[in-house]
Amino acid sequence: MSQNTILIGIGYAGCKILDKVKTGITKLYLDTDPEVEKKYSGGANEKVSSSENARTMRIGEKICGKYSAMCDAGLAEKAVKESKPEILKELEGFNRIILVTSLGGGTSNGATKKLAKICKGLLKKEVIVVTGLPSELEGHRAAAAQYVFQSLQTICEVKYVQYDSSWVNKKMSVLEAFNICDEKVLQLLDLVIKSRV
């Protein structure tokens, strides 16, 4: 059944988390940030490694230019629209789509919502979003994430981890703190994958 499933990492954190997943399931790293192609493959649409069935896709090249959506969820929605033909091609043959992300950024908020709508509403596929939600320390990002989170729940199934500031201490770097968040989302993703294969 896992052959019918595709895991799509969305935005910086979504792709970072997906990169840590050890699985034979097909992966797609998707971001408005051109860096995605350097980080997760040797170039557009090349496999990350021979042992993994993984592809990368930079979306919204025309609309975002050299940059990512840079906290602009509306721009990321437009990026999905711009790259829709390429995205649809990647989704051919998959019935279950798992969107892996961490809400709060432009791409994670905008592209996840737009993709969920396309995959569920237009393509009628099974869609599950597995996401982290920013802690209250992130202020307006946390508020923006909450707004998208509520909207996503009206579209498809959403599994989430609420980041908790008590997980971190003052000695930790930001990267160390977010690596803890990665682990929590990975555990949740593992459960979702295992419950459906």
Ligand X SMILES: Nc1nc2c(ncn2[C@@H]2O[C@H](COP(=O)(O)OP(=O)(O)OP(=O)(O)O)[C@@H](O)[C@H]2O)c(=O)[nH]1
Amino acid at residue number 39: K
Q: For ligand X, give the closer residue by CB, 24 or 139.
A: 139
60: contact with ligand X by CB under 6 A: no
Q: How far is the CB of 99 from ligand X (least distance, A)?
A: 12
Query: In the complex with ligand X, which residue's Cβ is closer, 127 or 185?
Result: 185
Give SS3 for 140: helix
Residue number with CB closer to ligand X (94 or 163): 163
At its nearest, how many Å lie between ligand X and the CB of residue 20? 10
Instruction: State the residue number with the nearest CB to ligand X.
Output: 105
Beta bridge partners of 132: 102, 161
**Distance, CA of 127 to CA of 96 (rounded, Å):** 6
Cα–Cα distance measured from residue 7 to residue 98, given in angstroms and rounded to the nearest whole number: 5
Indicate which of Mg ion, ligand X, none lies near residue 94 (CB less than 5 to 8 Å, by partner kind): none
- DSSP H or E stretch at residue 11: helix 11-19
Long-range contacts, stretch 36-43, CB < 8 angstroms, 24+ apart: 39/15, 40/15
Residue 60: name its binding partner from ligand X, Mg ion, none (Cβ under 5 to 8 Å by kind): none
Least distance between ligand X and beta carbon 135 (Å) = 8
